[in-house]
Chain A
Amino acid sequence: MCTTAALLVAAVAATGSAQQHDTTMPAMPPGMPMPAPPADTSPNAKEPAGAMHMPGMASNDMAMPIPMPKGMVMMPGLVGLTPPGGTFLPGAGVNAASLPDVRPSEVVRVKDGDTLDLSATLVRRTIAGHPYVMYGFNGQVPGPLLRVPQNATITVRFHNRIDLPSSIHWHGVRLDNRFDGVPGITQQPVAPGDSFVYHVHFPDAGVYWYHPHVREDVEQALGLFGNMIVDSPDSAYYSPANREQVLILDDLLVNADTLIPYGKTGPDFALMGRVGNLLLVNGEPHYSLAAHRGEVIRFYLTNAASSRTYNVSFGGAPMKVLASDVSRFEHEERVPSVILAPAERYIVEVRFDRPGRYALVNAVQAINHYRGEFDGEVDTLGMVTVDSTAAAPDYADAFAALRDNAAVTRDVDRYRPYFDKPPDKRLTLTMRGSGLPLATVQFMNVDTAYYAPVEWVDGMPDMNWLSTSDQVRWILRDEATGKENMDIDWHVKQGSVVKLELFNDPKSFHPMQHPIHLHGQRMLVVARDGVRTKNLVWKDTVLIPVGSTVDVLIDASNPGTWMLHCHIAEHLGSGMMTALHVDPGPAR
C-alpha cells in the first residue's frame, strides 16, 4: 500500500468514527462494485416487496439506509454514517390508518372576488401498495386545481393543519408582494394551527402552481402543491384541442416500504437535492388516459419535483409546444420531447393519430460514475390508450399548423432595445462545503474531468444523502460586490428593465444545474452562452446548465421585495437565494 493511500484509509476511518453511526446497518463488505446488465429501467414497474433502488436500477440485496443505483454499493468510506442533525417524518409517528385517504385533485372554478379555503393537512397516501403519512391541500394531492379567469382577484384563506410552519407561494403569479408567501420577507410563517389570508391577482394567462415556501424539501415533496390555470378571455388563445389534461410531475424517495426520512433541522441531500425513485404523475405512479383516434389533447405540465429535471414524451406521438411559465411562445414549435426543470411549466398539444398505446416516458442519459459511461434510462410514467373511434371534431389541420402569436411578439418587441445592453447585474452560481465526509471530498476532488451540463439522475446518492444544509452552502455571488445570497442588496426602480447575467461556475466543488426562479416578475431569456434566443417566451424559472452563461431580461414592473433563488428545494434550503428590491417609482 502506498503511503498516501494508507494515510487516506486512516483519515477516512477517523472521519467515520467521528460521526453518528447507524448501528442497525450491517457493514458493507469491501469489494469491487460490478456493473449490472441492462434491465427494465422503469422504476414504476411492479416491484417485489422490499425492493429498493433508484430509477432504472436494481437493489443490491443488502440492507441499505437509502436506495443505491443498480450494481453499486455505498462507498466504503461512507458506510455507517448518517446525516447529522436528526431526522423528520410527518405526523410524529401517527398511524397512517387513522388518517383520511388522500383524494385526487378536484377542479375549483373561481371568479373575480371569490373566496376559498385551503387547508394543509396530514393525509394517508397509498403508493404502490404502501401507505404513507404525507401532506395534502384540502385532503387532495395535488391540491385543488384552481381555474381562474385572467385578471381575477381571489381571496384564499390558508389554514395550516400540519406539524410544521408553512405558507403558500403563488408561483409565477405577478401579484401584490404582501401575498407572495415568503416567510421572513413578506409575512411571518403560518404556525401549525394558524391561518393566513391571501389576496391573489392573476394578470397573466397560463398555468401556475402553488406550494409552501417553508421547508419545500419536506412540505412540497410530501404533497403540498397544486396548479392554477388562468384562462384568457380569448377563446382561441391556444390552438384548439379536444381535451385538456393537467399533469404535475413529481418523485418520491422510498425504501422498501418507508419514506426516507428528511433532515430535521434542515435539508439533507444538500449536494444535488433529493431525487426520488418513484416517479409520480398527479401523485400516482401509473398515469392512465383513454383517448380517441386523432384526438388532440392539451397537456399542462408542471415539474413539482425537488430536484429532478424531466425529458418527457408520449410514445412518439407528434407534439407541439405552445407556452411556458408566464406566456405563450412567439411561435409554436414541433418538439420531440419536453424538458422541464423543477418549477417550470410547459403547455403542449399532442395528437394521438393512430389507435394503440402511447407510453408517457421520461427518457434521459444518466451518468454511470463507476463505468464512466452514459446509461440510457427510460421511466414509464403512464399510458395513453387510443381506441379506433375517430375524435370529433377533427383538429388535424389546426394541429398541423404552427401558429405565430403576434401579440407575444409585439409585447417582446418593447424589450428588444435592451437585449444587447451590458448586464446590469452578474451572479455566479457556486458552492462551498465544510464538514463533509472525507470520502465525499476525496471523490468529488478526483471526479473533475467532466461535468454533465445537467444531472438527470442521482448517480451517487450515498454522498448526496450524507450532505446537509449545515455542511453545504449553495451560493449566488454578486460579481460586483462579492456579496453572497441574502447579503446582496439589489434595488431597482419599478419599470426598469434589468439585464441579469447568470454564470454557473463549473469549477465549484459540486457543479450542478440550477433552475433559478424569480418571484413576482417576468423575464426573457435573451441569450445562452452568447447565442441569441430565437423564439421568446416569458419565464419565471430558467435552467442554468453547468458552465453556462445565461442572460435574462427582467421586466421589473411589480414593486416589492422578491426572492430570486434556485428551485432545487435542498439548494434553496442551503442558502441559494437572494432578494430583488423593486422600489416603487414611475412606470417606464
Chain B
Amino acid sequence: MIGRLGAVALGAALLALSGPDIGPYDVPLYATASAPAAKGRARLVFAESPFGIAVTADGHARYDAQITAAGLPAPSSLGAYRAYVAWAVSSDLTRWQRLGVVTNGTSTVGAVAMDKFLLVIAAEQDSTVATHRGPSVLHGSSPSTFLQSFQAHTAFFHGVTD
C-alpha cells in the first residue's frame, strides 16, 4: 500500500505523463532562457463576428488569443524594456503581426488571421511598438501547425520499410 504522499506523487507523475488536456484551440506556451520561470498558455477564440465564427473575405480564420501568463518578470529586469507584447508570426517567420500587450494574468489580444502561426511574447521597449525587437520570453504554435501531410499515406496499404 502506498501512503498519501506516495499517492499524490503518483498522481502528479501520471498527470505529467498524460499532459494537459489540449483542445483544438489551445496553445501551450513554453518559456525561453530569458525568463525560465515564466509559464503560459493561450486559447484561440473566434474574433467578434455577427456570424459566430470569424473569417476574412478570403477565408482565413480570425482569432483573438486569450493569453494566460504567470511568472513574467518585470520587463525592465531583462534590459531597457517596459512591456510584454504578443506577436503572431507566420510559420516561415517572414511576417510578424503585433497582437497586443500581455501581462501576468489573462490578456485578450488579436486578431490574427494566419492559417499556421507561432505565438511569441517578447519584452519590448514600450507597449506601443510596431516592430518586434526585444527578447522572447514565451512561445508556442497554433494548433494548425500540427496539420500533417499524408502524402505518403499509401504506405499504409502498400507497405513501408524500416
Contact = CB atoms under 8 A, between A and B. Distances in A.
A135 interface: no
Contacts of A542: 52
Contacts of B151: 32-33, 35, 370-372
A374 B150 contact: no
Contact of B59 (A35, A376, A537): A376
A238 to B, nearest CB: 15
B157 A439 contact: yes
A100 interface: no
Given A1-B159, A451-B24, A378 B154 contact: no
B35 interface: no
A365 B154 contact: no
Contacts of A367: 147
A76 B53 contact: no
Contact of B159 (A9, A340, A442): A9
Contacts of A376: 58-59
A528 B45 CA distance: 8
Nearest to A513: B53
Given A9-B159, A76-B157, A374 B144 contact: yes
A482 B45 CA distance: 28
Nearest to A346: B51
A566 to B, nearest CB: 15
Contacts of A75: 153-154, 157
A32 B154 contact: yes
Interface string B109-125: 00000011000000000
A337 B154 contact: no
Interface-centre pick from B48, B146, B153 (highest chain A CB count, 10 A): B153
A367 B162 CA distance: 29
Nearest to A331: B50
A587 interface: no
The contact size tier of chain A is 35 or more
A12 interface: yes
Contacts of A9: 157-159
A546 to B, nearest CB: 6
A372 B149 contact: yes
A528 B59 CA distance: 20
A49 interface: no
B60 interface: yes
Interface in A357-388: 363-365, 367, 369-374, 376-378
Given A1-B161, A2-B161, A442-B156, A543 B147 contact: no
Contacts of A5: 155-156, 159-160
A1 B160 CA distance: 5
B156 A439 contact: yes
B53 A506 contact: no
A506 B50 CA distance: 24
Interface string B82-108: 000000000000000000000000000
A76 B25 contact: no
A365 B144 CA distance: 12
A370 B149 contact: yes
Contacts of B149: 370-373
B154 A338 contact: no
A73 to B, nearest CB: 9
B61 interface: yes
Interface in A64-113: 75-77
16 contacts: A5-B156, A32-B154, A76-B157, A77-B156, A335-B49, A335-B51, A365-B58, A370-B150, A373-B147, A378-B58, A453-B24, A453-B25, A529-B43, A530-B45, A542-B52, A547-B24
Given A31-B154, A453-B53, 4 more contacts: A75-B157, A76-B158, A329-B50, A449-B147
